[in-house]
Chains A and B, each alone.
Chain A
Amino acid sequence: MTTRLLHSAVGLAITSAILSILIFRLASPIAAVFELSVCAGLIFAIFISSITVTQRVSAERLIIRKKERLRKFWLLPIIIVLVAAALSQVHFQMAFNLPAQTEENNVKIILWNLRHLDLLGQIVILLTGAFGVVILFKEWKND
C-alpha cells in the first residue's frame, strides 16, 4: 500500500511539472513559476504525511480490493466516451467578441492596484492556514 501511495504522489509531482510547463507556454510566466514553487512545497508535505501513515496490507486483501475497485466503476469509461462524443458535436467558436481591453495587462499592476479585495482575502487565508496548522498539528497532551 505504501508503494502505491508513493506512486500516486510521484504522479502528482510529474503532473504539476507538466502543468507548469503548459502554463508557461500559454504566455503566463509568473503563474507558472508560482505554481511550480508552491506546489513543490505542497507535494513535499504530502510525501512526508504519506510516509507517516504507512501500513502493511496483506497480499490477498490487495487483490480483493483491486477487484472491488474495478467492479464498482466499470461504467465510468463508457460514460466518458459518450460525453466526449457528445461534446465533439458541439461547435465551439473561437471568436469571442469582448469589450475592448482598457486596463494594463501586467500582472503585478493588476494584482496590486486593482484587486485589493483578493489581496485581503489572501492575507486572511494565510492566517487561517496558520491557525489550522497550529490547532491540528499540535501534540496531544492527554494521549
Chain B
Amino acid sequence: MLSLFLLLPLLGIIILNLPIKIKMQSVALLYVLLLSVSQVIVVLFHPDGFWNRPDVWGRFFELRLYVDNLTLVLLLSIGIVVFIAVLVAWHKITEPKQRLNFVSLVLISLIGMNGTVLLADIFSLYVFIEITSISSFILIAFQRDLNALEGAFKYIILSSLATVLMLGAIASLLLFSGDTSFASVSEAVKNNSKNIIVISAIGALICGFFIKGGLVPFHAWLPDAHSAAPTAVSVLLSGVQIKTLGAYTIIRLVTSVFGYTNSVAYILMVVGTISIIFGALGALGQRDFKRMLAYSSISNMGYIVLGFGCGTALGMAGAVFHMFNHSVFKSLLFVNAAAVESRTGTRDMNKMGGLASRMPLTGLTSVLASLSAAGVPPLAGFWSKLIIVIALWMSGYHAYATIAVLTSIITLAYLLSMQRRVFFGKIVEEYKEVKEVSFGLVFPELILAAIIVGVGLFFPLLFNSFIMPISSFLK
C-alpha cells in the first residue's frame, strides 16, 4: 500500500477545500498531524501488512513505488519535520483561511517529497522535485512581505536553471536508453560510459541537484530564501527539503544509476568541502539569527555530500545518519528562533541578551541543539560527524578529514557566540518582562530535544540494527 503515501495527502487537500460549513481549520490541523505521525509510526514499527501488500487499486492505475532502507530514513525525517512545521505555523498564523491554505500547501509539499523518495524513474523524479519546489515558492512568499518575495523570486530563477540542467541531462540520456526508468538508464550508462554526451549529461544532472540542495557555488538563493521565509516554512525547507531534493537524489542516482566512478567521487568531495568551509565562514559574521542558521545549513549539506563522496559503506551510513540528525537539530534551532522572535519581535542577535533566565525551556533546548550541531558527545550530532571523519580517514583522505574536524571548531564557535548573544549574558532592559512562549511552541521543542538526546545516548545500541543496514543498498 505504498501509494497511500501519495494519495492520502491528496485526499486531505480535496477534503479541506470542500465548501462545507464546519470548522475546517481544526480538521486541517488534526489531519496533517495525524498523517505525519502515522508516517513516522509506520516507518518505525514496520508493520508487514502495510509494506508488503500491493495496492488494492492496482488494476485501475499503477504507481510504481519502491522502498529500501535509505527511503525509510527519509520518510521518517519527512514525517517528523512536517509535524514540527505545522505546529510552529499554527502558533504564528492565526487567520483561519490562511491556516487552511498553509496546510494545503504543506500537504502538497508532502506529496512532492514522499514521491521523490519513493519512485524509480528519472522523469517522474523531476516532476516530483518540481512539485516540492513550486509549493515552496508559494510558501516562502506566503506573508507577502518584500524580503520574502525577493527571496522567492531569486529561488524561482535559480530553480528554473536547475530545471533546465536536469531536463537537458534527461533528454541526452533518453538518446541512449529507450525508457526513463532507473534500470534502463543505468543499463545505457553502463554500455556507453565513455561517450562525451553521457558524461556531460551526468555532470549536468549532478549540477542541477547541487543547485536544488544549496551547495556551493550554487547556494545564492539559500540565505535569502531561508531567512526571509516565515519560520514554519524555514523549518520545512532547511529541515528536510534541501536534503530530499539535493542529497537524497544525488545518493540515489549515483548508487543506482550512474555507478561510482573516481571523477564523481572527486567532484562530490571537493564541492562538499568547499560548502563546509564556506557555510561555516558565512555564518560567523551574521547578525540575523535565521540567516546564520541558513549558512549553517549550507555547511551541514557539505558534510553530507562529503561523507557520501568518500565511497565506503561507513561513509554512506554516516552521511545518511547526518541527514537525519541535521533535520532534527536544525528544526529545533529554527523553532527556537521562532520562539525568540515571537517574544522579542526581532531577529537581530546583537540586540538580545540574557533571555535564558526568562525563557528557560527555549534556552535549554537551544543549548542542546547547538551542542548537537557542533558535534559534542554524547549528543546525536557527535556520532554522525565521528562516523564521517572516521570513514574519510580510513579511506586515506586525510586532508579532507582534517578540514572537516577543523571546521567543526568554527561551527562550535559561531553557535556558542549565538548562544552567548541571545540567551546568556546580561539581560537587556527592554526584554526584562518577556515570558516563556506558549505551549504551542514549547511542545515541538521538547519533542525534538528528546529525539536528539535519545538518539545520542542510545547510539551504540542503534548502530548495528539501524545504521549499518542503511548502506545495504550500496552494492
Contact = CB atoms under 8 A, between A and B. Distances in A.
B185 to A, nearest CB: 12
A123 B124 CA distance: 13
Contact of A118 (B6, B124, B137, B184): B124
Interface residues of A, number: 26
Interface stretch (A9-17, A59-67, A132-140): A132-140
Interface in A58-80: none
Contacts of B134: 125, 128-129, 132
B137 A125 contact: no
A116 B203 CA distance: 29
Given A98-B178, A124-B108, A136-B144, A117 B135 contact: no
Contact of B178 (A99, A122, A134, A135): A99
A127 to B, nearest CB: 6
A125 B130 contact: yes
A120 B13 contact: no
A88 interface: no
A121 B131 contact: yes
Contact of A131 (B111, B121, B138): B138
Contact of B127 (A118, A129, A140): A118
Given A117-B115, A131-B108, A136-B144, A125 B178 contact: no
Interface residues of B, number: 37
Interface string A100-126: 010000000000000111111111110
Nearest to B102: A135
B63 A124 contact: no
B99 to A, nearest CB: 12
Contacts of B6: 120
B196 A90 contact: yes
Nearest to A98: B178
Nearest to B127: A121
A59 B197 CA distance: 47
Given A117-B63, A121-B124, A124-B111, A135 B176 contact: no
B127 A128 contact: no
Contact of B13 (A115, A125, A127, A136): A127
B131 A132 contact: no
A91 B13 CA distance: 51
B55 to A, nearest CB: 11
Closest 3 pairs (CB-CB, A-B): A121-B127, A117-B124, A116-B61
